């Protein structure tokens, strides 16, 4: 009984810590930028007390949508990683493994390099090709006389990802003068373009998060092994397929907005498991969402302020913030 | 009485005519991100509130713009949108390369006009367009006439037409400028026979191998490094000393040149001057 209480306390502490970290990161994201706006003015703007002007535009049109995007993208990638690692029972599983990242990268580069005048189509193209890559992986991984399996999904994922990566490389080689516009997408980064991208992509986030919420208990049963899960009335194959679809939708939507941000999906669920001391998905999935959101908001704030007015890609800053924590936990807990 | 009536009539006529006059541009509320738009505005007598800082592009700005605020540009959005919002421009002359940022600018209520010509014809068309936007149409037409005259002068009397390979140096990978690139068109106007190794691409550049350079055996090689300022010296050395090109006529006759500003990459108002420089310094066909 005492052990359960200690475990519960530890998980509560981790949840509260990440919640506070997320709130602090959101505060910093809204308050800091290339233009200095005093904190009280930011609060006045957000509460509707400040008169319209450049500061109001900066906070309402640029910083607020970007912060919301960072929260959603970070949460989506954290959840996608947690769901995939649980469903495939593989600690190295992440959206990269099911080809989503490479597919989305190819879709984005198609628009950036071939149709730069139609940049509005970038999120849609990234989403479509991300989902297409995942669909190809699943159709190969879960079909055939033996019904497929986790090993086949992972191998198919590597092959399909390589195929799309090769396509991206070919596009880059063909259009060298336009490549700089695409680099930001390939290394991952948010941009300040108001609510445009979110207006198109939010339904995919909604579908992905709802599917992930329904998967919490089935994934816990899957941890007991396929036979035990089946004896409890679950259908392991259906759970894996649903999990893969949820992860693909979330990761594609994230890539459509922020480019290829690879680190969160792989590492955040591990950090959450190590810190919370449990593999229970009731804890791991929602807290991975919190952790992913906190890390991406914090990293994006650093990326756009450290060399302001020049904005840096967010990827290196996520690694800078996340890897020391991950290695410290790895050394301390495992 | 009559003079009063005439004065009244004059005032009425003037007030009726006023809307037909081009509105004088509020220069303080226009930002020019491309050197072309900035210089065109300067030549039209309108000063932008801020100009964009491009790699090598700043050196081509008119002296009158030396005290104008400079906005650093970076991929993929171009200027920092927070800085831009603070300036509160009414209009931004941008480039398709900053299309991602254009979305954000429009969200800020800014009118975005793309102005980064890719051909000589587009230079004239866009000069007229900018003059309309800033309300200096007459000056715009005069400017275009002057540019055409200067171009005619600079392209007169071409006696030799050397074979030219124009190479874009990205890292250690050579790309050739094609006929549809800005630099390619300048070389052709200057009297060069542009070699492309048979490559075609809608983007205006194609990757080529050193073997192609040797096979085409150009009389002149002009290298255009595309890199950060601090990397340019190493790239110049690489282009000038590239052992793979040593058997070409260009190398044996010591006619491998390097153009370090961005005149070959991005259009400017100084078309005739750049063509004159190509003829004088590289093609030597004056």
In this prediction the ipTM stands at 0.71
Of residues A299 and B58, the one with the higher pLDDT is A299
Query: Among candidates B57, B234, B238, B249, which has minimal Cα distance to B165?
Result: B249
Closest chain B CA to residue A65: B104
- Cα separation of B18 and B221, whole Å? 56
Residue to substitute from B54, B77, B82, interface A, most A β-carbons within 10 A: B82
State how far residue A21 is from chain B, nearest Cα, in angstroms.
Answer: 25
Judge whether B51 and B30 are in contact, CB under 8 Å.
no
State how far residue B39 is from chain A, nearest Cα, in angstroms.
Answer: 23
Q: Is the pLDDT of residue A212 over 50?
A: yes
Q: Is the pLDDT of residue B260 over 90?
A: no
- Cα separation of A276 and A273, whole Å? 5
Asked if residue A2 is part of any domain, the answer here is no
Asked if residue B20 is part of any domain, the answer here is no
**What's A227's domain CATH number?**
1.10.3470.10
Q: Is there a contact between A192 and B81 if contact means CB atoms under 8 Å apart?
A: yes
Residue to substitute from B31, B49, B78, B81, interface A, most A β-carbons within 10 A: B81
Q: Chain A residues with CB inside 8 Å of B99's CB?
A: 116-117, 119, 181
Q: Is there a contact between A54 and B204 if contact means CB atoms under 8 Å apart?
A: no
For the residues A24-49, what does the mean pLDDT come to? 90
Q: Are residues B87 and B190 in the same domain?
A: no
Among A14-18, A218-222, A320-324, the minimum mean pLDDT is found in A320-324
Q: Is the pLDDT of residue A82 over 90?
A: yes
The 3 state secondary structure assigned to chain A is CHHHHHHHHHHHHHHHHHHHHHHHHHHHHHHCCCCCCCHHHHHHHHCCCCCCCHHHHHHHHHHHHHHHHHHHHHHHHHHHHHHHHHHHCCCCCCCCCCCHHHHHHHHHHHHHHHCHHHHHHHHHHHHHHHHHHHHHHHHHHCCCCCCCCHHHHHHHHHHHHHHHHHHHHHHHHHCHHHHHHHHHHHHCCCCCCCCHHHHHHHHHHHHHHHHHHHHHHHHHHHCCCHHHHHHCCCCHHHHHHHHHHHHHHHHHHHHHHHCCCCHHHHHHHHHHHHHHCCCCHHHHHHHHHHHHHHHHHHHHHHHHHCCCCCCCCCHHHHHHHHHHHHHHHHHHHC
**Does the beta carbon of B171 lie under 8 angstroms from any beta carbon of chain A?**
no
Share of chain A above pLDDT 90, in %: 38
Q: Chain B residues with CB inside 8 Å of A184's CB?
A: 75-76
For the residues A220-248, what does the mean pLDDT come to? 87
Q: Band the pLDDT of B1: cuts 50, 70, 90.
A: very low
Burial label, B11 (beta-carbon count in 10 A; 0-12, 13-18, 19+): exposed
Among A61-75, A130-144, A211-225, the minimum mean pLDDT is found in A130-144
Q: Are residues B74 and B184 in the same domain?
A: no
pLDDT tens digits, A215-229: 999 999 988 888 888
- Cα separation of A288 and A18, whole Å? 9
Rg (CA), chain A: 20
Of residues A294 and B15, the one with the higher pLDDT is A294
Q: Band the pLDDT of B227: cuts 50, 70, 90.
A: low
Asked if residue A56 is part of any domain, the answer here is yes
Asked if residue B21 is part of any domain, the answer here is no
Which ranges of chain B would DSSP assign to H, the alpha helix? Answer: 2-17, 35-43, 81-87, 99-107, 120-133, 137-154, 182-189, 210-216, 232-241, 249-252, 271-277
Phi, psi at residue B70, to the nearest 5°? -110, 130
The predicted pLDDT at position B239 comes to 74
**What's B178's domain CATH number?**
3.40.50.1980
Judge whether B26 and B7 are in contact, CB under 8 Å.
no
Q: Are residues B61 and B31 in the same domain?
A: yes
Q: Are residues B108 and B60 in the same domain?
A: yes
Rg (CA), chain B: 23
Report the residue from B99, B100, B203 with minimal CB separation from A175. B203
Q: Is the pLDDT of residue B164 over 70?
A: yes
Average per-residue pLDDT in chain A?
A: 87
| End position of a domain, from candidates B153, B180, B197 | B153
Residues 206-225 of B with CB under 8 A from A: 206-207
Q: Are residues B47 and B76 in the same domain?
A: yes
The predicted pLDDT at position B76 comes to 78
- Cα separation of B216 and B50, whole Å? 44
For the residues A174-180, what does the mean pLDDT come to? 74
What is the number of CB-based contacts under 8 A between chain A and chain B?
107
- Cα separation of B187 and B222, whole Å? 10
Angle between helices A236-258 and A122-141 in degrees, nearest 10: 160
Q: Is there a contact between B85 and A61 if contact means CB atoms under 8 Å apart?
A: yes
Q: Band the pLDDT of A154: cuts 50, 70, 90.
A: confident
For the residues A313-321, what does the mean pLDDT come to? 84
Q: Is there a contact between A176 and B175 if contact means CB atoms under 8 Å apart?
A: yes
| End position of a domain, from candidates B122, B153, B184 | B153
Cα within 13 Å of Cα(A129), Cβ side: 27
pLDDT tens digits, B85-100: 999 899 999 988 888 8
Q: Is the pLDDT of residue B14 over 50?
A: no
Q: Band the pLDDT of B58: cuts 50, 70, 90.
A: low
Q: Are residues B148 and B170 in the same domain?
A: no
Judge whether B174 and B167 are in contact, CB under 8 Å.
yes
- Strand B163-170 relative to strand B173-177: parallel, antiparallel, unpaired? antiparallel
Average per-residue pLDDT in chain B?
A: 82
Domain that holds residue A29: 11-333
Asked if residue A5 is part of any domain, the answer here is no
Q: Are residues B143 and B210 in the same domain?
A: no
Q: Are residues B134 and B175 in the same domain?
A: no
- Cα separation of A169 and A246, whole Å? 28
Asked if residue A4 is part of any domain, the answer here is no
Judge whether B72 and B80 are in contact, CB under 8 Å.
yes
Q: Band the pLDDT of A160: cuts 50, 70, 90.
A: very high
Q: Is the pLDDT of residue B55 over 80?
A: no
Q: Is the pLDDT of residue B79 over 80?
A: yes
The predicted pLDDT at position B283 comes to 94
Of residues A193 and B33, the one with the higher pLDDT is B33
Q: Band the pLDDT of B204: cuts 50, 70, 90.
A: confident
Residue to substitute from B33, B71, B72, B85, interface A, most A β-carbons within 10 A: B85
Asked if residue A3 is part of any domain, the answer here is no
Highest mean pLDDT among A292-306, B6-20, B257-271: A292-306
| End position of a domain, from candidates B104, B121, B153 | B153
In the three-class reduction of DSSP (H, G, I as helix; E, B as strand; rest coil), residue B134 is classed as coil
The predicted pLDDT at position B168 comes to 84
Q: Is there a contact between A309 and B99 if contact means CB atoms under 8 Å apart?
A: no
Q: Are residues B191 and B121 in the same domain?
A: no
- Strand B220-225 relative to strand B163-170: parallel, antiparallel, unpaired? parallel
Domain that holds residue B130: 27-153
- Cα separation of A134 and A80, whole Å? 13
- Strand B50-53 relative to strand B205-207: parallel, antiparallel, unpaired? unpaired
Share of chain B above pLDDT 70, in %: 84
In the three-class reduction of DSSP (H, G, I as helix; E, B as strand; rest coil), residue B270 is classed as coil
- Number of folded domains in chain A? 1
**Does the beta carbon of A193 lie under 8 angstroms from any beta carbon of chain B?**
yes
Q: Band the pLDDT of B21: cuts 50, 70, 90.
A: very low
Among A250-259, B11-20, B270-279, the minimum mean pLDDT is found in B11-20
Asked if residue A304 is part of any domain, the answer here is yes
For the residues B36-65, what does the mean pLDDT come to? 83
Q: Is the pLDDT of residue A23 over 50?
A: yes
Question: Containing H/E element for B176?
Answer: strand B173-177
Asked if residue A34 is part of any domain, the answer here is yes
State how far residue A226 is from chain B, nearest Cα, in angstroms.
Answer: 47
The predicted pLDDT at position B24 comes to 45
Q: Band the pLDDT of A68: cuts 50, 70, 90.
A: very high
- Number of folded domains in chain B? 2
- Cα separation of A232 and A222, whole Å? 10
Q: Are residues B271 and B174 in the same domain?
A: yes
């Amino acid at each position: 009984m005492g052990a359960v209480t200690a475990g519960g306390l530890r998980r509560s502490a981790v949840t509260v810590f990440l919640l506070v970290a997320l709130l602090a990161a959101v505060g910093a994201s809204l308050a800091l930028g290339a233009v200095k706006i005093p904190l009280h003015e930011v609060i006045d703007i957000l509460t509707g007390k400040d008169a319209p002007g450049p500061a109001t535009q900066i906070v309402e049109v640029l910083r607020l949508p970007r912060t919301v995007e960072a929260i959603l993208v970070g949460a989506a990638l954290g959840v996608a990683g947690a769901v995939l690692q649980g469903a495939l029972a593989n600690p190295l599983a992440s959206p990269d493994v099911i080809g989503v990242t490479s597919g989305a990268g190819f879709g984005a580069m198609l628009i950036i390099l071939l149709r730069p005048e139609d940049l509005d189509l970038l999120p849609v193209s990234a989403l479509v090709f991300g989902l297409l890559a995942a669909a190809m992986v699943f159709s190969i991984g879960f079909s055939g006389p033996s019904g497929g399996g986790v090993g086949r999904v992972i191998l198919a994922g590597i092959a399909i990802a390589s195929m799309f990566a090769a396509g991206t490389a070919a596009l880059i080689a063909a259009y060298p003068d336009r490549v700089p516009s695409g680099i930001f997408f390939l290394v991952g980064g948010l941009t300040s373009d108001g609510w445009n991208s979110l207006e198109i992509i939010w339904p995919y986030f909604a579908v992905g998060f709802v599917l992930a919420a329904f998967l919490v208990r089935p994934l816990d049963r899957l941890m007991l092994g396929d036979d035990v899960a089946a004896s409890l009335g679950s259908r392991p194959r259906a759970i894996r397929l649903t999990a893969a679809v949820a992860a693909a939708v979330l990761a594609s939507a994230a890539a459509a907005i922020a480019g290829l941000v690879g680190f969160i999906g792989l590492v955040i669920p591990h950090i959450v498991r190590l810190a919370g001391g449990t593999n229970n998905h009731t804890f791991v999935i929602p807290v991975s969402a919190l952790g992913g959101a906190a890390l991406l908001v914090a990293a994006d704030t650093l990326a756009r302020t450290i060399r302001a007015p020049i904005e840096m890609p967010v990827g290196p800053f996520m690694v800078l913030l996340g890897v020391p924590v991950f290695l410290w936990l790895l050394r301390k807990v495992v | 009485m009559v003079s009063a009536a005439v004065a009244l009539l004059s005032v009425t006529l003037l007030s009726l005519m006023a809307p037909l006059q081009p509105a004088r541009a509020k220069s303080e509320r226009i930002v020019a991100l491309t050197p072309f738009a900035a210089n065109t505005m300067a030549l039209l007598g309108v000063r932008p509130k801020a100009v964009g800082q491009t790699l090598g592009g700043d050196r081509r700005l008119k002296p009158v713009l030396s005290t104008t605020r400079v906005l650093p540009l970076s991929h993929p959005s171009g200027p920092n949108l927070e800085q831009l919002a603070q300036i509160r421009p009414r209009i931004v002359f941008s480039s398709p390369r900053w299309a991602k940022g254009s979305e954000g600018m429009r969200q800020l209520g800014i009118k975005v006009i793309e102005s980064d010509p890719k051909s000589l014809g587009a230079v004239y068309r866009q000069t007229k367009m900018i003059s309309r936007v800033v309300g200096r149409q007459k000056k715009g037409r005069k400017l275009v006439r002057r540019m055409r005259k200067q171009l005619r002068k600079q392209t007169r009397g071409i006696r030799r037409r050397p074979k030219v390979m124009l190479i874009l140096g990205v890292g250690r990978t050579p790309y050739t400028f094609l006929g549809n690139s800005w630099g390619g068109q300048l070389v052709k106007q200057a009297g060069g026979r542009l070699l492309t190794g048979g490559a075609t691409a809608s983007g205006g550049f194609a990757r080529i191998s050193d073997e192609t350079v040797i096979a085409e055996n150009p009389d002149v090689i002009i290298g255009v490094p595309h890199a950060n300022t601090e990397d340019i010296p190493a790239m110049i050395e690489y282009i000038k000393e590239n052992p793979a090109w040593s058997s070409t006529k260009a190398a044996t006759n010591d006619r491998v040149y390097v153009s370090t500003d961005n005149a070959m990459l991005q259009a400017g108002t100084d078309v005739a001057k750049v063509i004159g420089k190509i003829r004088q310094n590289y093609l030597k066909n004056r």
